[in-house]
Amino acid sequence: MIMLPIKENRVASKILGACLIGAVLMLSACATVPLTGRESLRLVSDSELLSLSLKQYDEVLKTSKLSHDSAKVQMVKRTGERIAGATEQFLRDSGMESDIKNYKWEFNLIEDDKTVNAWCMPGGKVAVYTGILPLTQDETGLSVVVGHEIAHAIAKHGNERMSESLLVQLGGVGLSLALAKQPAATNQIFMAVYGATANVGILLPYSRLHESEADRIGLVLMAMAGYDPRGAIPFWQRMNQQGGSRPPEFLSTHPAPETRINHLQSLIPEAMKYYRGK
């Protein structure tokens, strides 16, 4: 038996204690992703994320130029509201009706033709950049984007990535403590997690698993909202063609190779079961 010096023993005990706490947290903080049934890590409470979301969303709107093109703005709001209605029905059908109260939907179009991007923060705060509209082309194409982003939100992929980032980058501290001790770093992690910093080059890409789940859920949401899910295929084909040697921001966080399109095609039959048309 090898005996450690008292000081090293204390250090080892602290490390072991931290590992045990981390293990307990991860085991007790798992939740289920709707439709797929996957267990995911969520160390951050919904209330904490909602509070931070409102603050950061307001900041984005203050520092961005909102579009005054009434036709485009109304299209974004109309598409968003239809997807939002479908999302609430989807949550009811998935036994997650209690989550609906957390969503205070808001859809804004940001005037920035160079930014091909869109994102959804917790609480249903959605931003679409004008740079993606030439690729969406119409409401069906836009519903692919909005449905996909909202799918990330209701699957709580952002919470999962925020939890992982807090564990890796800030030592596993809670969100409140992280904000108190390292507010700038914590806010930066949050904005990067939700794709809202794409215009300054700070990105934390979703995993292939997250993308696959958002594709699947997003197709169902657009179908429930009355948009033909088959419209997702030509949209992603246009995104691929736009990519070139330097992909736009939306592709940086949402990789769309040919294999992805093939996967989407395999998901269409399931989504069509929810499609009634409008």
Q: Rounded distance, CA 96 to CA 98, Å?
A: 5
Q: Are 195 and 119 a contacting pair, CB within 8 Å?
A: yes
Q: Report the alpha-carbon distance of residue 125 to residue 81 in Å, rounded.
A: 12
Write down the catalytic residue from 149, 211, 213, 249: 149
Transcribe 56-125 into DSSP letters. Answer: HHHHHHHTS-B---HHHHHHHHHHHHHHHHHHHHHHHHTT-GGGGGG---EEEEE--TT---EEEETTTE
DSSP state string for 15-39 = HHHHHHHHHHHHHHSEEEPTTT--E
Residue 17 tokens read as 């204690």
SS3 126: strand
Q: How far is CA 46 from CA 137, 159, 180, 227, in A?
A: 34, 8, 18, 30
Give the pairing type, strands 30-32 and 106-110. Answer: unpaired
111 included as an active-site residue? no
Q: Strand 30-32 to strand 39-41: parallel, antiparallel, or no bridges (unpaired)?
A: antiparallel
CA distances from 51 to 97, 111, 143, 161, 197 (A): 20, 26, 27, 17, 18
Q: Which residues are catalytic?
A: 149
